[in-house]
Amino acid sequence: MPTEMGLRDVLLISPELALTGLAVVVVLLDLVVGRRKGVLLVVGTIGLLVPAGFSVVLWNEVHSLPAGAEAAFFGTIVVDKFALFFKFLIMGILALLLLASGEYAERFRQYQGEFIALVFLSATGLMLLAGAADLITVYISLELAALPVVALAAFLKTEVRSTEAGIKFLLLSGISSAILLYGFAFLYGATGTVRLFSLDPAVPTIAMMAGQGDATLPFGSFPLMVGAVLAVAGFGFKLSIVPFHMWTPDVYEGSPTPVAAFLAVASKAAAFAVVLRVFHTGLGAVSTDWVLLFAGLSAATMTVGNLAAMVQTNVKRLLGYSAIAHAGYMLIGVAAVAGDGAGSGQDVLGSSGLLFYLGAYAATTMAAFFAVIAITNRTGSDEIDGLTGVSQRAPWLAGVLALALVSLTGIPPTAGFMGKLFLFNAAVNADLIWLAVFGVVNSVLSAYYYLRIIRVMYLQPAGVAARISVGIPAGAALLVTGVSVLVLGIVPGELLDVARTAAIGLFR
């Protein structure tokens, strides 16, 4: 019955609807709490249990379905364990981000309600993005995720760099969205469909279409090749991959630090989810061509990101270039995913390795950003020299930051080491040994600038004797992320099993 079908559709997107409703509740509550703005962070954090609960229900329901997935709204959105994995990841990031940003949010105390609501609305778009099943839904979800970030990047209205970050993100995001939409138009023109699950069967027929097919061309036809290349360029901005990466350090430096953390982890995770959807699900029939494209971009991205990070003096810009380099590592998983799906979909080294890496990277990067937030709130400086002697003023914060930097380098026994191990193993199994070698060499290069920060914190005397303290909520966020970095490095099996289960859903 149409009514039952409509209600079922609503249930299938209940996490997103609940998160949107929570954003509205926070805004309305902001009107009555007066100066007690801390209530908003508490309500926002606890309120995340509602969309998380709906996601748990959907996970159990999807598990019992023969197909392992269910479509909503006439097939434009798919709910499977792959999509739900990213919903859980994004909600976990939101909860920790709210805990860690309480003291920082005092800089814009009057607008804390708007800040939380905008983060929630952007996260809603990211969650929809992971389950988008057609090109139109992909585009709309991307815009829903990106537009709130424009306001968030410029949230420090009294600082010129923040306004500049917002304007730069708005302009470049608009340009990248136009390029992406143009690429989607070519894909639709070449295949006659916008549905990702219908796109793949249509692709092999392109080479046989009169006047379009050309076996000598990559992707089998000129329109399909142009569409795929433009789509990569459009997604490249969201992923911060070379040569579409130049906005990243400027926006990270100018934005409020919690916003930079949100962009580094949540936005990147959802962007990789949709890239896997579009290219593996939609263009899997021509994977040989886009594998080489992503492999080349991976090598260029990790190399440029690491080399540029070596000369940075601002810790937020350094983490921006670090995010670029790690996008290059993650592209190894995208390139290796073409070899997945053998043996009835059970061999998913590339995609499961990428999903594990995203989880490990999220924990590691949040630990680094949360420590930076706590330290820079007291020192008032984002410069690396401002971290001088922090180990003497705040041993706990310095320890978490050092652990995160060691993990980002890829040194055992940390989550970063295990993540890189799984990705490099996937590359070797996909006959991309040269790309794995690139990854290892770049990991060695990255040690220079990560260990430089540790040297500044531990081997240089503190110029100021005052201790640096951290509140209980921020301390809890630091504890969770720091422990996660160690646990995922020592006992990675649990997250790897979940990642593998979610990845198999991509190959039904």
In a structure prediction context, what are the per-residue pLDDT tens digits for the chain, which is 508 residues long?
Answer: 344 557 888 889 999 999 999 999 999 998 888 777 778 888 999 999 999 999 999 998 887 776 778 888 888 899 999 999 999 999 999 999 999 888 887 777 788 889 999 999 999 999 999 999 889 999 999 999 999 999 998 888 767 788 888 898 899 889 999 999 999 999 888 888 888 877 766 665 554 554 555 556 777 778 888 988 999 999 999 899 988 888 888 899 888 888 999 999 999 999 999 999 888 887 877 777 888 899 999 999 999 999 999 999 899 999 999 999 999 999 999 988 876 655 444 568 888 899 999 999 999 999 999 999 888 888 778 888 888 888 888 888 889 999 999 999 999 999 999 999 999 999 998 888 999 999 999 999 999 999 999 998 888 877 666 778 788 888 899 999 999 999 999 999 899 999 998 888 777 6
Residue 454's contacts (CB-CB under 8 Å, 6 or more residues apart) are 402, 405, 406
CA distance 403 to 364: 8
Element (H, E) at 69: strand 69-72
Q: What is the model's pLDDT at position 340?
A: 63
Which contiguous run of DSSP H or E holds residue 78?
strand 77-80
Residue type, 425: N
Q: What is the pLDDT of residue 62?
A: 84
Query: Any idea which residue has 């420590």 for tokens?
Result: 371
Nearest CA to 281 out of 178, 137, 182 is that of: 137
Q: How far apart are CA 179 and CA 231, in angstroms?
A: 7
Residue 44 token pair:
């926002």
Rounded CA-CA distance 208/205 in Å is 5
Tell me what pLDDT residue 194 has. 86
346/340 Cα distance (integer angstroms): 8
Q: How many domains does the chain have?
A: 1
Could you list the residue range(s) of the whole structural domain that residue 405 is in?
A: 2-507
Q: What is the pLDDT of residue 344?
A: 45
State in Å, rounded, how far the first CA of the chain is from the last one: 27
Are 362 and 96 in contact by the 8 Å Cβ rule? The answer is no
pLDDT of residue 318: 93
Site of tokens 């249930």: 11
The single-letter code of the amino acid at 95 is: A
Q: Which one, of 141, 145, 163, lies nearest residue 154 by Cα?
A: 163
